[in-house]
Structure 1
Amino acid sequence: MPDWSYQTLFRPLLFRLPARLARTLTLHAMGGLSRIPGGSLVIRTLGHMEVSPLLEQKRLGLDLKYPIGLGGGVDPHGTAQRALAQFGFGFTEIGPITMEPIRSDQPVELDITEEAIRYPSAPVNDGLAAIVERLKDERENPLPAFCRLRPMPGSAPEEALDQVRRMLEALKPFAAGFYLDLPSGSWPSDVMDAYTLDVLRLTKELAPDKPALVYLQPDMDDREMMSLLGKLNEAGLHFEGAVIGDTVTAGDRRLTGRAIKASVMRKLQRIRSEYAMESIALIAAGGVHEPQDALDLTEAGADLVQLHSGLVFSGPGLPKRVNEAILYRIVSGLPAPPLPAFWQGWGWMCLLGIGMIIGGIIAWIIAATSVVLPYDTAFLCADAETIASINERLLPFMSHDRITLAGTMLSIGVLYYQLGRYGLRERLHWARTALMASGIVGFSSFFLYLGYGYFDPLHATAAAILLPMFILAMRDRQEEPYRRKTNIMNSRQWRLAQRGQFMMVVLGVSLVIGGFTISTVGITKVFVPEDLEYLMTTAAVLESANPNLLPLIAHDRAGFGGALLSNAIALVATALWGIQQGARWLWWTFLGAGTPAFVAAFSVHMYIGYMDFWHLSPAIFALLLYMLGLILLYPYLMRPVSDSKHARVS
């Protein structure tokens, strides 16, 4: 459920449901997908969260791939931990955890205008026993987990300490560390201070190799907070850090949302004014709804951030966007590596694209004039006039197949050239992956021509020339992080772009299905019913007139299907992974790649009079998606990221 589908389709539907039901449906869908064969691959493909060594951190004795954590309130029952782990998180919070299960009939409420969530005041959770059983399955908990321990409501200090002892003993084999959640407001301040000292000593006694962090609520009084931390320091207790939590008291409820950020920032700044960055680690757990929020919190002193309500309102792509923003902040301060030489890889891909464009132009000219080539007539033992005498619509039909193939070749050429020029040249992982997948399918589709025993020497020659270019282009495996400014705001342009990206992804997937279907039909039935209606004949009649006619037409159809499939894979990969704010070249790529394909498809159908609506309906649907995608993506791709926002965090 990436942002382009979440913002466009799922969020409007889910927000109409009761919040608990919406959360349950979402988590069960993601969790179920991650458990079926190939499900994790689907999640990784849709999100394509790249791992960069520059994002890796050594914090709290742990090696974290990403500086982003998953808040415990997102998935309280551990339904989709395996799926969520692939979204770009480096660690997760489990909890709050209490000795016994705590349930509540109070509803979970969304405030869409304020981007806030209201939870029951009780620390709702499944209880220690159930959580321990869940943590035993390492496959379901792939991330380092910080267990957030909280006494049962109404417990006396002695009872609370005993509960924490039992939870520590049960959880220490599975936990990467502990958040010590203080029952604020339950006891006098001196009792609370004494309890905190005791619980920290207990944690260090029972789990000396596990980091222990004090969990502080954003609405805790700043003076009480600093007094507590000071007493811990004076007592000589080594606590690794503190977590500024993600909820505040709002009447008889707990509230989390965008407004929490201000309180979290104030506390971060207050603590950092007393404690150096190296002395304790600080985790900001509330108020991150867009990448700018995470940048602001890290600038205020947070070492790590956790996501909670932001995932609900912004979408599951938020951790990836935050990682990209942090990565840009890192690489913008590093010297840029030299661009690879033209012949090192990307130049060969540009030449391959130019070769496809030239080939597409030649194929279009031939298909619009003579239609058949000498080796076609040699295979059929018949010239164009003889073919026309068999069926007067046969040559126009063959022209229709070959012109649509020419338009697809032009589209592939534009995509390959642009992805080579702007993707491989900057050594972007997603561009290389897109080209690799598309190229393998495209060159493999050559063998579809042999399905009916027809060998196309011109196509074989073109493949023999272009294949070495593809191999040479793919030999440079070095990868670099994206070095251009990334989107950091949930602006109107960004929201429109999610809809535009949705259109382009659906278009790409539709063309993948279309290419596969056309290839399958080409090497099996050859014709669809609408084709035979246009030709006003049957396949048996054509075969009886010339037994080599069906293999020739099958060759054209299979070739077009294979080319369309190759083109569609490059398109859907680019739409999934490549869209970044200010990437003007990408909008021009979509325009340049789509225009010749659609012009070829519609012009040849009108020219030969093949205007069956059912036959053209997939192309009409694709054109609508294409035009909407271009319109919605235009403001996002053509306008650069605001310099002022990045200047604040550089």
Structure 2
Amino acid sequence: MAIYSAGMALYPLVRPLLFTLDAERAHGLALRMARALPARPARHDARLAVEVAGLSFPSPIGLAAGLDKDAEAPDAFLALGFGFVEVGTVTPLPQGGNPRPRLFRLVEDRAVINRMGFNNQGQPAALARLRARARRPGIVGVNIGANKDAADRIADYVQGVRTMAPVADYLTVNISSPNTPGLRALQDEGALDALLAAVMAARTDGTPIFLKIAPDLEPADVDAIARVAMAQRVDALIVSNTTISRPPLRSAHAGEAGGLSGAPLRDLALARLRDFRTATGGGLPLIAAGGIASGADAFARIKAGASLVQLYSALVYHGPGLARRIERELAALLAREGFADAKAAIGADYR
């Protein structure tokens, strides 16, 4: 515990040095540092426990996919105070992703733009690492995707389910990255229905299936996705991935191509969460992502219908102590607003 506390306290001093590095190099360094940490289970406030898809989450604060792409350090991130960790995106075959530079800090905006392109070592590498951590405590989900040059992308997702389900507490079907050409077309109603039918048929062990969608959707798209997801009995929706829209930004990197995440995504992601809560009528668990950097942000998403929340970009600016700080702030807000626990606050805006 002393090691983690020291690391959290030192981050404001270390961050300027990290920011002198290229963003992707700094990401790699942070991941190597995480791998060196002892993987000790974190303690969580019992009032924050939530159940989704038959899984008992000790806290609703999770690490989004993208940081630990190849499942190199999930237990270290659990030890930092996350209630769950999602690794990936992993594809059936290794792929290098898009040319560098492809990851940009927008410091003035507390944001990140990435066009990574599902760079990863492939599902067999992640499978071996997750098998090695078998029987360790903590919820670890696996985010699966299709290879860029796949002739049959649905077949890639089916393979991802069959390969990764034995080592995943849940699987996330990621069809919302803007950095693989044509991938978001799988959000169209007919394509989505075919994809989810194949994915759900491939699931043989009851592993929960989550679907991650984009924030850049029209009302008709929201209704169609909600309808198909519920008809195919998807276990939860993750709302949302990065955006290709560009709100007013101050950074010199504002014009870079790719998906925008971080603070500028907050309002759009919250609006889309509300849209999906309305479209599903509360009949499908929702997981919020995008622009979450505080207990107040998490509390707003939970009251708007999210059972869980995920973050990633905010860690770049706030450091490794962020999950614990959000938990403390969330617990205080629940108490102040008269909620006995996090479960009682889910969807409170609609009651």
Q: 1:141/1:54 Cα in 2 relative to 1: closer, same or farther (>3 Å)? A: same
State the 1:122 CA deviation.
1.4
1:147 and 2:139 aligned: no
State the 1:197 CA deviation.
1.5
Q: 1:143/1:288 Cα in 2 relative to 1: closer, same or farther (>3 Å)? A: same
State the 1:115 CA deviation.
1.1
Aligned counterpart for 1:196 among listed residues 170, 192, 211: 192
Equivalent pair of 1:150/1:182 in contact (CA under 8 Å): yes
State the 1:50 CA deviation.
4.0
**Structure with greater helix percent:** 1
Q: 1:3/1:72 Cα in 2 relative to 1: closer, same or farther (>3 Å)? A: same
> SS of the residue aligned with 1:148?
strand
> SS of the residue aligned with 1:33?
coil
Alignment match, 1:71: 64
Which residue identity is paired with 1:147?
Answer: V
1:119 and 2:114 aligned: yes
Higher RCO structure, 1 or 2 (CA under 8 Å, sep 6+)? 2
Alpha-carbon distance between aligned partners in 1 of 2:215 and 2:297, rounded to the nearest angstrom: 16
Alpha-carbon distance between aligned partners in 1 of 2:339 and 2:49, rounded to the nearest angstrom: 19
Alignment match, 2:346: none
State the 1:220 CA deviation.
3.0
Give the alignment of 1:217-296 within 5 angstroms. Answer: 217-233=214-230, 236-249=231-244, 252-277=257-282, 279-296=283-300
Q: What stretches of structure 1 of length at least 5 have no aligned partner?
A: 337-480, 482-647
Alpha-carbon distance between aligned partners in 2 of 1:73 and 1:187, rounded to the nearest angstrom: 17
Alpha-carbon distance between aligned partners in 2 of 1:140 and 1:26, rounded to the nearest angstrom: 26
Aligned counterpart for 1:132 among listed residues 117, 127, 131: 127
Alpha-carbon distance between aligned partners in 2 of 1:335 and 1:58, rounded to the nearest angstrom: 17
Alpha-carbon distance between aligned partners in 2 of 1:335 and 1:204, rounded to the nearest angstrom: 36
Equivalent pair of 2:288/2:309 in contact (CA under 8 Å): yes
Equivalent pair of 2:161/2:202 in contact (CA under 8 Å): yes
Alpha-carbon distance between aligned partners in 2 of 1:145 and 1:58, rounded to the nearest angstrom: 15
Give the alignment of 1:221-620 within 5 angstroms. Answer: 221-233=218-230, 236-249=231-244, 252-277=257-282, 279-332=283-336
Q: 1:190/1:200 Cα in 2 relative to 1: closer, same or farther (>3 Å)? A: closer
Equivalent pair of 1:161/1:195 in contact (CA under 8 Å): no
Alpha-carbon distance between aligned partners in 1 of 2:136 and 2:113, rounded to the nearest angstrom: 27
1:89 and 2:82 aligned: yes
Alignment match, 1:390: none
Alpha-carbon distance between aligned partners in 1 of 2:112 and 2:184, rounded to the nearest angstrom: 29
Equivalent pair of 2:242/2:290 in contact (CA under 8 Å): yes
Alignment match, 1:171: 164
Alpha-carbon distance between aligned partners in 1 of 2:272 and 2:88, rounded to the nearest angstrom: 22
1:216 and 2:213 aligned: yes
Alpha-carbon distance between aligned partners in 2 of 1:248 and 1:190, rounded to the nearest angstrom: 16
> SS of the residue aligned with 1:34?
coil
State the 1:281 CA deviation.
0.8
Q: 1:249/1:124 Cα in 2 relative to 1: closer, same or farther (>3 Å)? A: farther
Alignment match, 2:201: 205
Alpha-carbon distance between aligned partners in 1 of 2:321 and 2:116, rounded to the nearest angstrom: 29
* 216-225 vs 178-187, greater mean Cα deviation: 178-187
Q: 1:297/1:309 Cα in 2 relative to 1: closer, same or farther (>3 Å)? A: same
Alpha-carbon distance between aligned partners in 1 of 2:184 and 2:168, rounded to the nearest angstrom: 30
1:461-486 Cα offsets, whole Å, 9 max, x none, are: xxxxxxxxxxxxxxxxxxxx9xxxxx
State the 1:266 CA deviation.
0.7
Which residue identity is paired with 2:62?
Answer: G
Alpha-carbon distance between aligned partners in 2 of 1:5 and 1:189, rounded to the nearest angstrom: 44
Query: Greater Rg, structure 1 or structure 2?
Result: 1
Alignment match, 1:556: none
Equivalent pair of 2:212/2:241 in contact (CA under 8 Å): no
Equivalent pair of 2:85/2:140 in contact (CA under 8 Å): yes
1:422-475 Cα offsets, whole Å, 9 max, x none, are: xxxxxxxxxxxxxxxxxxxxxxxxxxxxxxxxxxxxxxxxxxxxxxxxxxxxxx
1:599-634 Cα offsets, whole Å, 9 max, x none, are: xxxxxxxxxxxxxxxxxxxxxxxxxxxxxxxxxxxx
Q: What stretches of structure 2 of length at least 5 have no aligned partner?
A: 1-5, 246-255, 342-348
**Structure with greater strand percent:** 2
State the 1:262 CA deviation.
1.2
How high is the TM-score relative to the length of structure 2? 0.82
> SS of the residue aligned with 1:274?
helix
Q: 1:249/1:188 Cα in 2 relative to 1: closer, same or farther (>3 Å)? A: closer
> SS of the residue aligned with 2:24?
helix
State the 1:284 CA deviation.
1.0
Identity of aligned residues (%): 24
Q: 1:30/1:163 Cα in 2 relative to 1: closer, same or farther (>3 Å)? A: closer
Equivalent pair of 1:218/1:247 in contact (CA under 8 Å): yes
The number of residues matched between the two structures is 321
Equivalent pair of 2:145/2:160 in contact (CA under 8 Å): no
Q: 1:28/1:51 Cα in 2 relative to 1: closer, same or farther (>3 Å)? A: same
Q: 1:143/1:314 Cα in 2 relative to 1: closer, same or farther (>3 Å)? A: same
> SS of the residue aligned with 2:87?
strand
Please provide the CA RMSD for this pair.
2.8
Q: 1:222/1:15 Cα in 2 relative to 1: closer, same or farther (>3 Å)? A: farther
How high is the TM-score relative to the length of structure 1? 0.46
Alpha-carbon distance between aligned partners in 1 of 2:339 and 2:287, rounded to the nearest angstrom: 29
Equivalent pair of 2:158/2:198 in contact (CA under 8 Å): yes
Alpha-carbon distance between aligned partners in 1 of 2:217 and 2:138, rounded to the nearest angstrom: 29
Alignment match, 2:99: 105
Q: 1:231/1:245 Cα in 2 relative to 1: closer, same or farther (>3 Å)? A: closer
Equivalent pair of 1:290/1:314 in contact (CA under 8 Å): no
Which residue identity is paired with 1:275?
Answer: T
Equivalent pair of 1:282/1:301 in contact (CA under 8 Å): yes
Q: 1:59/1:85 Cα in 2 relative to 1: closer, same or farther (>3 Å)? A: same
Q: 1:212/1:190 Cα in 2 relative to 1: closer, same or farther (>3 Å)? A: closer
Q: 1:141/1:265 Cα in 2 relative to 1: closer, same or farther (>3 Å)? A: farther
State the 1:333 CA deviation.
5.3
